[in-house]
């Protein structure tokens, strides 16, 4: 288990200089990663269910109906993970806005900074 489990896209972002810009870049990369995970988990869910239901032998003594039920349960776990990842993407959008709201002086400054963060995160 000595594998490197870092997300390089997120690890490369340094929180130095303008924190608002750094938070915007971090949120943008977090949305990108969550979008890829969302797609992967959706595909995996479908593939796992198809693979488990298509087995022709009596695997672990299960008939076809029992295999379908168990395959559906396994695929459901992946779909739940997919839902969690979609929520992560939505929360990532709120991260720089919350920073601006909590740490910048006035509402006008916070709104201007939020716009700048959103524009900087997309580039």
Within-domain flag for 50: yes
- Contact indicator for 67, 52 with CB cutoff of 8 Å: yes
Which 3 state secondary structure label does DSSP give 5?
coil
Residues 17 and 113: their CA atoms lie apart, in Å, by 15
Owning domain of residue 90: 18-122
Q: Number of folded domains in the chain?
A: 1
Within-domain flag for 23: yes
Within-domain flag for 54: yes
Q: Can you spell out the DSSP letters for 12-31?
A: T----S-HHHHHHHHHHHHH
Q: What's the pTM value of the predicted model, to 2 decimals?
A: 0.70
| Tens-digit pLDDT string for the chain (123 aa) | 455 566 788 888 888 888 888 888 889 999 999 999 999 999 999 998 888 888 766 656 677 787 888 889 989 999 999 999 999 988 988 888 888 778 876 767 767 777 777 776 554
Residues 37 and 19: their CA atoms lie apart, in Å, by 26
- Contact indicator for 116, 104 with CB cutoff of 8 Å: no
């Amino acid at each position: 288990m000595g594998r490197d489990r870092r997300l390089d896209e997120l690890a490369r972002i340094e929180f130095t200089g303008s924190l608002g810009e750094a938070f915007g870049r971090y949120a943008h990369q977090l949305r990108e990663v969550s979008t890829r995970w969302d797609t992967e988990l959706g595909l995996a869910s479908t593939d796992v269910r198809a693979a488990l239901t298509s087995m022709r032998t009596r695997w672990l003594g299960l008939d076809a109906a029992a295999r379908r039920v168990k395959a559906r349960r396994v695929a459901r776990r992946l779909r739940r993970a997919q839902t969690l990842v979609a929520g992560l993407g939505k929360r990532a959008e709120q991260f720089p806005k919350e920073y601006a709201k909590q740490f910048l002086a006035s509402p006008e400054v916070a709104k201007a900074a939020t716009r700048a963060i959103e524009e900087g995160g997309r580039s």
